[in-house]
Structure 1
């Protein structure tokens, strides 16, 4: 309820500013139209007049974009042509007038809806109490309709700005092609990096254990002393257990089976249990994300926690996973010494994983800490 009231109040302020801006936009549109009409048959004069008109149109459009962003929460692309700004202003003033009418209706409804309070307080003899009641109810109904109109006009403002100031369809397609090509190349690089990491883990860990195991078994086989043979076999048994533990660790880092068996929350709790530093997990996701999103969210947490423990020497780590609409937000914050390099191999690989889902990854790690790794992953 509080959020709805706050949103309605912000939209109302935005429409009031929009109504004031509509006066300037209407005057500008009329003057610019007359000036261009006067030199329509003169190409050189048309170019001379069009240049300052487009400059003024862009400035007014930027002011209106700021109004939309601050008061209506509408974010539009900063990449648009000056002619698009001129067309936007030529259409936008009509919504400004509509917003003024809606705000005037809201003021009238509020006045009539609360009329019973000051009539009963200021007038000693209110003979027709029924008319006062009907007037108040009518005013409240008009106020209700006006509030709905405020929200509707605010939505129309966002759609108009997105349509007239947004990129054209061809530009959107070209930009999307570039994004898909970049993300595809990033996925290929991430897969290759993951393969190299697995090969390095196997070579430096499991392979060395198996070599040592083979040497111990060979020495035990050649030994003639029963006591020495038993001692070597016990060492070989211990070495085989350590090799098996390291192999399980490598398999866990490649892909945790808990993620498929019990879901993202259980996988994150397992990460917290396996970490030497206390990790607090806050999980607020209504429904289990789809597998691709859950996998990327898991690796974001796992890599961020591993980097923090390895490089930042934190005393505690806080992991927050929550969903808002169709977006899953993941954040990992530690109280370590900071200074994390966002361009490092680990975080850079995470950024490529996130980008493959059209998500975004941000890293804030000033010297002295704290470090915050945050990712936004779209669902559906």
Structure 2
């Protein structure tokens, strides 16, 4: 409920700059129409006259796209290149009525709020003689306020549809781009899987296999030794080596896939990552409902790999992990106070970016020299 109210408030606040850009668009449309009238029958003349207006329309459209992203949470994937100025000019010429309507709705909103609450403050600023008139005015104001509040949503939806229609990609272009994204993400996921397999093979070869070889040698020496006391010492060393090999084998298995994720859920798996970290980690987990298993797996590996990278390379003294769910998007943030300078193109971070992209998410790394470093992942979970 709180999120819906905040979103409505942002949309209402965006009506004022929307009305201002609509007035500018109306003036641009009128001036362009008057300028093109003398050369309306001459195609080359029309193009020459409209060229500066198209450039201005592109700038105006970009300003309005930023406004939609800031106040309406609408992000238009504009199609640059040929035809951008033509689409922008059409958008500016067609949008101004909706923008002016937004200004009218905003005025009605303020007027309705003023009249609707007049009964609360009217006694202090005027001499009220007819109570029934005040009550009727307040009721009418509240009705206007309600209609204007609904109008905010209607104008916001109309502006989104209009921007997507004029500035966004066509259906065919969107499908082609989506196919390209899926092909790229599939290739990146396969690369990440191969990298993970190579890392597992390296861990098994350099860790577990070496310990098993040492274990076999210790047992062999104990069998050949004639001194029972020395043989017992060798068996004790072999037992200790067995314990270490099992610990490393569990570590490798944990990196492949943590069993606790299936048994106890994402929160318990992240708490285990925090407990296993040699650095202090503050975990904030604000997810009020179950998540899809694929999503939980990606979140776990993002946090686990990010924490491991910080421990190995960042020189940090503490970390903070935040996992929050807002409406239909899950946000993961890992922050450390290390020296910064992390390379987003590194093998581990590239693999995480591929995992996130496979779920249509966004992955980012902000690590200026001197720190702090922030790894973020935003995943849709509608």
Q: TM-score, normalised by structure 2?
A: 0.91
Q: Map of 1:177-192 to 2, 5 A cutoff?
A: 177-192=179-194
Match of 1:132 in 2: 134
- Measured at CA, do residues 168 and 373 of structure 1 come closer, stay the same or move farther in structure 2, by a change above 3 Å? same
Q: 1:375 to 1:36 in 2, by over 3 A?
A: same
Aligned in 2, Cα 1:156/1:275: closer, same or farther, shift over 3 Å?
A: same
Do the aligned partners of residues 254 and 225 (structure 1) sit closer, same or farther apart at CA in structure 2, a change above 3 Å counting?
Answer: same
1:263 paired residue among 250, 262, 265: 265
Deviations 1:75-118 (A, max 9, x none): 32343511211221221111123223323323432443344466
Is 2:105 the partner of 1:102? yes
Q: Deviations over 1:331-376 (max 9, x none)?
A: 1112223222222221122112111212122122223322221111
Aligned residue among 196, 200, 203 for 1:198: 200
Moved more, 263-272 or 20-29: 20-29
Counterpart of 1:176 in structure 2 is 178
What RMSD in Å do the two structures reach over aligned CA positions? 2.3
Q: Give per-residue Cα distances to partners, 1:136-177, cap 9 Å, x unaligned.
A: 221222122212212321232122112211111121111111
**1:283–1:322 contact (8 Å) kept in structure 2:** yes
Structure 1 CA distance for aligned equivalents of residues 163 and 292 of structure 2? 33
Change in Cα spacing, 1:124 to 1:220, as seen in structure 2 (3 Å) is closer
Question: Following the alignment from structure 2 to structure 1, what is the Cα–Cα distance between the partners of residues 345 and 10?
Answer: 39
Is the CA contact 1:342–1:348 (under 8 Å) kept in the aligned structure 2? yes
Give yes or no for contact 1:264–1:288 (8 Å, CA) kept in 2: no
Change in Cα spacing, 1:326 to 1:120, as seen in structure 2 (3 Å) is closer
Q: Note if contact 1:357-1:377 (Cα within 8 Å) is conserved in structure 2.
A: yes
Match of 2:32 in 1: 32
* 2:360 aligned with 1:379: no
Equivalent position to 1:327, from 323, 326, 329: 329
Other structure's SS at 1:288 match: coil
1:352 aligns with 354
Q: Contact 2:78/2:169 (CA < 8 Å) preserved in 1?
A: no
Cα distance in 2 between the residues matched to 1:5 and 1:355: 31
Distance 1:24 1:336 in 2: 48
Structure 1 distance, partners of 2:62, 2:288, is 39
Change (3 A) 1:172 1:106: same
Which stretch has the larger CA shift, 356-365 or 205-214?
356-365
- Whether the 8 Å CA contact 1:206–1:246 is kept in 2: the answer is yes
- Cα distance per residue 1:3-43 (max 9 Å; x no partner): 66665554344323333333332233234345445434323
- Per the normalisation by structure 1, the TM-score is 0.91
Residues 55-66 of structure 1 mapped to structure 2, 5 A cutoff = 55-66=55-66
Which residue is equivalent to 1:159?
161
Q: Is the 8 A contact 1:87 1:164 kept in 2?
A: yes
**Is 1:15 matched with 2:18?**
no
Count of residue pairs brought into register by the alignment? 379
The answer for unaligned runs of 5 or more in structure 2 is none
Residues 116, 327 of structure 1: alpha-carbon distance in 2 compared, 3 angstrom cutoff: closer
- Residue by residue over 1:224-248, the C-alpha shift from the partner in whole angstroms, topping out at 9 and shown as x without a partner, is 3322222222222221221111111
- Answer yes or no: is the 8 Å Cα contact 1:106–1:142 preserved in 2: yes
Which residue, 120, 127, 142 being the options, matches 2:123?
Answer: 120
Matching residue of 1:84: 87
CA–CA distance in 1 between the matches of 2:50 and 2:126? 61
Report Cα offsets for 1:276-314 as digits up to 9, x if no partner.
222221111112221111111111111111111122232
Tell me the secondary structure at the aligned position of residue 93 of structure 1.
helix
SS at match of 2:331: strand
CA pair 78-231 structure 1, distance change in 2 beyond 3 A: same
Compared CA separation, residues 244 and 161, structure 1 to 2 (3 A)? same
